[in-house]
Every structure is written in C-alpha cells, then in structure tokens.
Amino acid sequence: MAALPTFIPIKDAAEYLDLPLAELREMVDSGKIDAVALPDGEIAVSEKSMNKPLRKEDLPEYKKHAHLVGVEVGIAEAAREFGMATSTVHGWVKSNYVARLGQNGQKILIDKADVAYCVEIYKKHGQQRGRRLFNDDGTPYKPKTGPLAS
C-alpha cells in the first residue's frame, strides 16, 4: 500500500513553524500550505507542505516592513538608522540576506525592507557575536538543540 500523507492540527503546525495562527490560516487560504478540513470543522495541515521552506517574504517579520521594499539606502546610513554596526549590515549584504539595489559612486545601495527584517530577527534571536541567525535563503535559523530549538 502506498504511503498516505500525514496531517497535523493547524495549531500544532503554527507552533512548529513559529508562526501566528492567523498567518498560517492565510497561507492555507492562499494555497501556500496544503491542508484539509476535518468533519468537526478543524483544519489539519500537511506535514509534507510544512517541510517546504518558507520564503522570508512570507514571514510576519518581513511583512511588517513590506512598505519599505525597494527603498534604497546606503549601508552606513541603514546601520545608523537601525542602530546596528556597519560591519553587521555589510555582512548581511555579503551573505545576500539584504539585496543590493544599485550603486551611487562608492555608495552601495541596499533594500531598506531587507535591513529592517534582518534587524528584527537579530534583536529577536541574536545579539551575540558569532551566533548564526539566518539560513542561506534568509529565513531565521533554528538550532536543533539548545534554548532556541523548537
């Protein structure tokens, strides 16, 4: 017999993904996450679709700053505005967590929404030198062990 898909309650899925329940419901409604309606009216989410990596643009921390998408700012200016070290912001640009939008002479112009998102994740999870904050795709890194593991 073929393996049947596994579904878990939407509340458990929201906890696992570290997303607000309303945000996960939106993702189900938009088709980004597969789900089923159970006879009792509850919603269950496909475990397989939960393993699909979310894009950083789908996260509430990013959506909060969506109005800043495409707004150009220099690295030093962004660091001052958000109270960060210039080297930290530059590292995010080098790692492609923050998009480069262009250049004005020597000044590298970056996306202000990406910086705001990275600062939020940094303040929420980081603030320790050398701690890994992001996966390669820019989503927040979740350690498998330790106090931040889920």
pLDDT tens digit string along 29-80? 888 888 999 999 899 998 887 776 667 887 888 989 999 999 999 999 999 9
What pLDDT does 23 receive? 84
Tokens of 49: 């679709």
Name the DSSP letter for residue 140: B
Q: What pLDDT does residue 107 have? A: 95
Compute the radius of gyration of the chain from its Cα atoms: 18
Q: What is the pTM of this model?
A: 0.66
* Backbone φ, ψ for residue 146 (5° rounding): 95, -175
Mean pLDDT of 81-105: 95
Q: Which residues of 74-110 are buried (b: 16+ CB within 10 A; e: fewer)?
A: bbebbbeebebeeebbbebbeeebbbeeeeeeeebbb
Give bridge partners of residue 103 from the DSSP assignment.
108
pLDDT of 110 reads: 96
In the predicted model, what is the mean pLDDT of residues 77-87? 96
pLDDT, tens digit, 9 for 90 and up, residues 105-133:
999 999 999 999 999 999 887 666 777 88
What are the contacts of 95-100 at 24+ separation with CB within 8 A?
A: 95/134, 96/138, 97/134, 97/138
